[in-house]
Every structure is written in C-alpha cells, then in structure tokens.
Structure 1
Amino acid sequence: MNSNPFLSIVIPTYNRVDFLDYCLEVHIPLAKVHNIPIFVSDNASTDTTGEVVKRRIIEYPLIQYHRNETNLGFDGNFECALKYPQTDYVWLLGDTYQIPPDGIDYVLKLITANKKKYEAIIFNVADRVIDIPQQDYTDQNQLLSDLGWHMTCLSSLVYSSKLITNADFERYKNTDLVQTGVIFESIANRSFLIHWVENLSVKSIKIKDLVKKSWQARTIEIWAEKWPNLILSLPPSYKLDIKIKCIKEHGIKTQTFTLMGLLKLRSENILNFKTYKNYSKIFPLATDLSNITILIISFLPSTILKFIRALKKKTHV
C-alpha cells in the first residue's frame, strides 16, 4: 500500500489510550480513502497505548508508531510528531479531537488544485464563534489579530513541510504552546501565505465517563502566564496593541477568564486564594475582570459551586 505523498496525520499522545483508540477508529476510514499515513508519537505512556496502536496497524498498515524513551513534555513530543512524516503537509491532531469528514478532501484539493504554496492551513473548531470569512492571509499582524488566539488549538493546524523544516522549535520549548509559537516566529518579516477555513471544523471527541484531564489543572499557569509570555516574546514586527488584544481574546473567546469561566475554575479548585496570589500581578494581561472580582471568586465555596454546576448539567440532560 503506497502512502499519499501530499498529506499525513500525526497524533501526539500520552496515557490516553481510550481516547487514542477511538481517535484511530474514527480516522482510519477517512485516511483509507486517500492512503493518508498516520503517525502516532507516544510520549513514554505507561498505559497500554503501544498494544492498542499495534492492533490498529493490522487494520491499517499505514499507521506508524513511535514511543519516546522518556517523556519529552508537550512541546518536545509535538516537535517529534511533526518531524516524522515526509509528506508535503502534516495535520497535527490531538488524540481527543476528530477532523471533519471532508477535511482531508479539502486539504488535498487546496494544495494540488493551484500553484499556491501555503505555509499552513487553519481549520475552524466546533462551538467557536469566529465571524471571519474564508481567506488567505499575507499580513502577519492581521493573522495574529484575527486568529492568533484560535491557533492555540493544535488540531486546527496543518503545517507545510517547509515551515516544519525551518521552525525554531528550541525557542518555544517549555511554553506548552510550541505549535503556535513556531508559526508566528516563522512568518515574521517575510512573505507568506496561510489559508483560513471557516466552514469546516474539528471537534472534541466525547466519550461517556471519560474526561480529558492532562493540562486542566494547569489552566491558570498556561493561559495567565505562559500564553502572555509567548505572545509578548514574538518578534517586534508584531504590533504591541495587537499582541495584547490577542492575549485577552483567548480568555474571552474560550471563556477561560470570563466570569463564568472563573467560577468553573473555582468549582474545580483550580482557582483558589493560593493561585490568586501567585498570578494576581499578571491577571490583568489575561482578563478584563478586576483583581477584586477574581479575589472574591477565589473565596467562594468550591463544593457549592460544583454542586450547582452538576445540578445544572443534570437538568439539561
């Protein structure tokens, strides 16, 4: 079976064998249509990830599996995953996401139907309201302003092999957001072409009784500290006012740092007085809510909030 030279799917994973198995189940039929190779980059999982993937390889021989000897962290594993394929384009897919049924067809037609050389292709994400028409971007500040916050979702990103080859992965290690940083670093101060797809969306995989847990406990650290640090560290050709807009838009558009989002974080005890103290000086970068408001939320009884959330969820079932 000859693999498609134009596009591959790479799936970085760590200790989420149930999600990964379902992810492969969903994507193997889509990949088979065009012989799309699938690469699984296992970040030294301690569960049965390897066994499950090997069973899936029997079903679809174009799956390749690699297990890191040690855990390289999010960024290190993403770099490994992106560098494995030899295809013209690489779709970076989280193990808890699924691509749209027409997504592969769309990419293949886009990259073969004309002579345009795209650095990256950005897909929409289900349940996000992005009122930006489909278009090609050639201005780095416009891209950061419109979609910078959205490009943190790794599963929405398709990279060209050229961008991967030239990306400065080392510069963005330990940011937990290397997938975003390398794109904006790469296109700074030069001509580029990036395509935005409005009408096709990746979406989260929903499996009853399974909850995606990996980075949730670090929500405040990542989005109140690491995210602002990454954006502010981008080259000076990105305008400061657009950088600040981009930082805050993530908290608003994903509802991480809205009033309801912070109440949710408090109900899970992710936001408490300790975390408030740790991040109080940098909260103003990530949210328009005042520190007084965040402080008050941090003292609310988390058990009561959790009960209210559970009750509300139950009444909507």
Structure 2
Amino acid sequence: MSPQGKRLSICIATRNRAKLIGEALEQIGSQLTGDTEVVVVDGASTDNTAEIVQAERLRFPQIRYCPQSSNSGIDGDFDKAVELARGEYCWPLSDDDLLVDGAVKRVLGLLETNPEVLIVDVEVCSDDFSKILIERRLPFSGERRYGARDVEKLFVECAQHLTYIGGAVVRRAAWMARQRRPYYGTEFIHFGVIFQAPLTGTVLAVGEPLVRLRYGVASWTSRSFKVWMFTWPALVWSFSHISEAARAKVTPREPWRSLGTLLLLRAKGWYSWKEYQASIRPTLQSGRSSWLPALVALTPGRLLNLLALVYGFLFARSRKGGLYDLRHSRYHVWGRPHE
C-alpha cells in the first residue's frame, strides 16, 4: 500500500461529458473500499460536469475532483490524474464506461501478486449497454504472465486490446518513472508508458472481462479515421526495440493503403473527401496511388454501406462490432446521409 494509504486509484479524465460521467461514478462508487479512491481530472469543462461530480462526492467521499483551468488533452489529463493519485496502483478509466459487478474487489485480489502492470479483459457493449457486441477482447482466457524478456509476446498478444485505456492497471511508480509527454496527443498515453521499453517487473494478463466498454461514444470518435489509420500505426511502429514482424502483426505501417480498408471505412462513415484532403493527399505522389483513395472518398457512402451490410449479414454475422458501426453509420440505408 502507498504511504498515503491507498492501494488502488481509479483515474478518470473528462471534459464536457456530464451526461455520461454521473452514471459511471455512481456505479464505480458503489464498489469503492477504504483503500481505493477515484481521481477525476476535469479538463476545463464548460457544461455542468462539476455539479454532477460534486453530487457523487457527497455519496462517495473517496471521489476526488480536480478541475483544471485549461484543457491539456485526453493524454495530458490522464497523466495529471495519475500524478495526483494516492494509490500504489492506478487504473485509468474512460468517463463513460462501467465496471462489472465486483470488479474492484477482483482487481485488488489480483494485485496481491504485485505485478508491474495488470491487464484485464473488457466486454464491448452498445452505447446504451443493452447489447454485448464483443464478449471479450483478449485472445485468451485464464491468466498469463510476461517477464522483461517476453516483451514481443506481450506486444503481439495484448497490443490490440490495449488500445483501450481501461484494460491496464499500472503501478504508479512505474508510470511516473517513464517518459509521458512524447505520447501527449496520441490518444494512447498508457500504451506508450507500457511499451516504450521493457518493464522491470511482471505483467499479469487476465482473460476475464472486468470493464463494460460503451462503444461509439469515445471523445475522439469523430476523429476515428485519423486515429486508426495514422496515429495508432505511427505509435506502434515507433517502438524500434520490438521487431518489425511483431509490429506488423498488430497493424500495418500504413493501413489506409488497403483498398478494402478504405471501402469499409467509407461504408462506416469514417472516410470522406474531408479525410482524404486532410490526411491522405499530403502523403501521396502522383499516379494510381493518388487517385484510388480519392475515388473511394467520392464513392456514394450509402451504396457502400448497403453492400457492406449485405456481406456482413451473409458472411460475417459474428462480427457484431463491425455490423454495429455499419448500422450506426450516417450512410445507413434507413438513415439520412450527412453529406
């Protein structure tokens, strides 16, 4: 336990999400114990976030509210939350997600083995939690342990899962000892903290869902194309101490060069002429490689959405997350296109 008497700090970064954070704090607060706390860093909200959080603090005194005078971005605010935390371990959580019943107790039990990082599984739900889209994200069940020499195995098996910040509980001392500012603006500061160099301690991964992820309402959802086609691959490929073969198993260096990927993202409503002009065109030379992405950006999104849905229902019905994206696209056949 830390000198300040806390074993676990749940760290939440939020900004203008009053409609979501109240539900999260109410559900998390009911699981708190004397050796746990919640640290909420508010990146200069202009809505009634303060009112909502203060109301929950009256019910759960273990909640600490830390409003900021300016917005440092999601990575900076999570870093600030860990910095302000009093727990030996920090569990960064999104402001819109919920915990499985008994999750805090389970995590405290798993931390008895004193890992440097604890990785927990997540179930992905619809935005109202009425449906489970993905029952688990880790590619295994049970427990796995990784030492300093297992960094590539850890990377291949857990990197995709760790695109979600709530999947990792990190020893605070380890977080604070690492470089963090280079990862501001990536949306994945926790990933940089974990993988920038081999960890000195053990990583314990548990294929047991302890978090319920609310899909499709992340603060950066509107920037999904840039995040998944450019920001995320750039981060993965920045770790030169990890082999190219291992990095390639996680993501291609330039996934947007795949015609199939662009067509699917167009069908989902994530790719348009705006994204082409802002992200792809500046990187291209003249020739076929330049006009093909432009052609996809100009292809009717509603047509591609219909074709993708038909294909999905016929051949990929198990991919509930992808079908959910297509049904909630601005180009959904029963919806109204936004452009």
Where on the TM-score scale, by shorter chain, does this alignment land: which range?
Answer: 0.7 to 0.9
1:183 counterpart = 2:194: yes
Shift of 1:194: 0.8
Tell me whether 1:142 sits opposite 2:153 in the alignment: yes
Matches within 5 A, 1:1-20: 5-20=6-21
Q: Name which of 185, 194, 205 aligns with 1:174.
A: 185
Task: Describe the superposition over 1:91-139 as per-residue Cα deviations: whole angstroms up to 9, x where unpaired.
Answer: 1110111122232122211222x4xx31111111211453323211121
- TM-superposed CA distance for 1:148, in Å, is 0.9
CA shift digits 1:46-78 (9 cap, x unpaired): 001111111111111111101111000111111
Distance in 2 separating the partners of 1:204 and 1:190: 27
1:29 aligns with 2:30: yes
TM-score under structure 2 normalisation? 0.75
Q: Spell out, residue by residue over 1:186-230, the C-alpha distance to the aligned partner (whole angstroms, 9 max, x if none).
A: xx2454311111022412248xxxx72621221121111111211
Q: Structure 1: which amino acid aligns with 2:158?
A: L
The aligned residue for residue 121 of structure 2 is 124
Task: Work out the number of aligned pairs and report it.
Answer: 287
In structure 2, what is the Cα distance between the partners aligned to 1:109 and 1:16?
A: 31
Amino acid of the residue matched to residue 217 of structure 2? Answer: K
Deviation at 1:144, TM superposition (A): 0.9
Q: State the percentage of identical aligned residues.
A: 24
| 1:97 equivalent in structure 2 | 97
2:214 maps to 1:214: no
The answer to whether the 8 A contact 1:224-1:283 is kept is no
Structure 2 match to 1:242: 246
Residue 121 of structure 1 aligns to a residue in which SS?
Answer: strand
2:332 corresponds in structure 1 to 309
**Would the aligned equivalents of 2:262 and 2:296 in 1 still touch at CA under 8 Å?**
no
Query: What whole-Å deviation, never above 9, does each CA across 1:281-316 have from its counterpart, x for those lacking one?
Result: 7999xxxxx98875554223246645762639xxxx
- Specify the code of the residue in structure 2 equivalent to 1:311: W
What is the Cα deviation at residue 244 of structure 1? 2.2
Q: What TM-score do you get using the length of structure 1 for normalisation?
A: 0.80
Q: Which amino acid is the alignment partner of residue 9 of structure 2?
A: S
Asked if the contact 1:123–1:196 (Cα under 8 Å) also holds between the matched residues in 2, the reply is yes
Tell me the distance in 2 between the aligned counterparts of 1:43 and 1:132. 36
> CA RMSD of the aligned region, Å?
3.1
Give the whole-Å Cα distance in 1 for the aligned partners of 2:331 and 2:153.
Answer: 41
Contact 1:89–1:159 under 8 Å retained in 2: yes
**CA separation of 1:101/1:261 partners in 2, compared to 1, >3 Å: closer, same or farther?**
farther
- In the aligned structure 1, how far is the partner of 2:207 from the partner of 2:29? 24
**Counterpart code for 2:18:** V
Superposed counterparts of 1:38-187, under 5 Å: 38-112=38-112, 114=113, 117-126=114-123, 127=134, 128-133=136-141, 134-138=143-147, 139-185=150-196
Instruction: Give the match for residue 320 of structure 2.
Output: none
SS in 2 for 1:47: coil
* Cα distance in 2 between the residues matched to 1:282 and 1:105: 50
Indicate the residue corresponding to 1:287 in structure 2.
none
Judge conservation of contact 1:17–1:49 (CA < 8 Å) in 2.
Answer: yes
Distance 2:54 2:213 in 1: 24
Contact 2:15 2:42 in 1 (8 A): yes
